[in-house]
Amino acid sequence: MNYMEDKTEKKDTLYEHKYDDDSIDFIAHAKTIWEGRTSIIKSTLIFICIGIFVAITTPAEYTSSIVFKPILSSSKSKLNGGISGLAAMAGINLGDISGSSAEIHPTLYPKIFEDYNFQKELMESPLFDESLKSEISFAKYYTEIHKASSLELIKKYTLGLPTILLSALKKSFSKKKEITRLNDNEFEIISETDQKLIKILKRQLSINVNEKEGFVRISAKMRNKFYAAQMAKNVQNILQRKVIAHKIKKAEEDLAFIEERYIEKKMEFELAQKNLATYRDANKNVNTAIAKTQSERLESEYQLAFSVYSELAKQVESQKIQVKENTPVFAILQNAVIPLKKSNISKPLILVIYSFLGIFLGIFIAFARPFITDIKKEWNNK
């Protein structure tokens, strides 16, 4: 019995020591924070001032989005074997044009956005400005009208200063070389202005594909809410036009090929028709075997020319329908609207975030100060 009481007493003493150790740690931490209260207050006030400056100088941004779903098809060209065989009889090789036309999968849409020609077309896309009561291009707005905010200027000439110096040096040393390359090769050289505009485009525009649901979201974030809606619509129009052009390219090439053959065979048919009519008029009263054979030969040429011509005429109409069928369809799930609310972080939230950053930095300094003092002492003693 005494042994059990002694064991219980030791156990209670162990818990008391553990509680005392935790209390001492907590008190020590609280004391450290209290002793460093001046640093915490100073750090917090500094970051509050920074937060106020950032909140004031950060311009409002608005986001407009479009959501659409491409309806994929697997239609094929409708040239049947009959017309191919009939055309072959006339010495025409229509080739294999029964394969399915190429289609750009939605997952590749962001790659289209990265193309320079696509970006160049976006730069020249029109934006209606209410204050000017006229249309201006995206490029003109950012090169002639747009003014950088205070925060952007500070960032440009502090963090971005090395980039500015490097680009200036590169421009002075590579200007002649660029002209030489342009003369030797037929490649487009992206100008410095276009490079800046491309960076703005990539920062403000985005194309996101939901592979699971199969829809595409185009978003435009700009300071002007009217511009945001218009740019989202411009991206949609240019993207869909390029996808359609790529999709129906094969069908349009097939149609152009058949139309060429149709025009050729129409002329041959009209010539055979004229020759037959002329011969019949000139040999109305001639009943010789030679005349009859010549008439049958001209009649055969006329019938063959008519068969090929009429079938190609049908195929032209069929291929026109095929072009329409191959044209991709885009179901608009969410159209672009002019946003009313700002999409960037609210100014009070910016202030709160910077205040917490100041408090955490002040606490860190308070805890790090003793270690820094010890390191300095060891450094001086050695």
Give the model confidence (pLDDT) of 120-148 as tens digits. 999 999 888 877 788 888 888 888 876 66
Structure-token pair, residue 50: 């920074």
Residue pair 233/336 in contact by the 8 Å Cβ criterion = yes
Structure-token pair, residue 184: 């030797």
Strands, E assignment, 294-368: 329-334
**Does the CA dihedral 195-197-203-208 come out positive or negative?**
negative
Express as a percent the part of the chain with pLDDT over 70: 74
Mean pLDDT of all residues in 14-34: 61
Q: How many CB atoms lie within 10 A of CB 291?
A: 14
3-class secondary structure, 12: helix
Among 347, 344, 66, smallest CA distance to 205 is for 66
**What's the pTM?**
0.63
Give the model confidence (pLDDT) of 279-317 as tens digits. 888 877 777 888 788 878 888 888 888 888 888 889 888
Give the model confidence (pLDDT) of 109-126 as tens digits. 999 999 998 999 999 998
Give the model confidence (pLDDT) of 215-251 as tens digits. 999 999 988 889 999 999 999 999 999 988 888 888 8
Residue type, 142: Y
pLDDT at 229: 92
Average pLDDT, the chain: 77
Ramachandran region of residue 133, left (φ > 0), alpha (ψ -120 to 50) or beta?
Answer: left
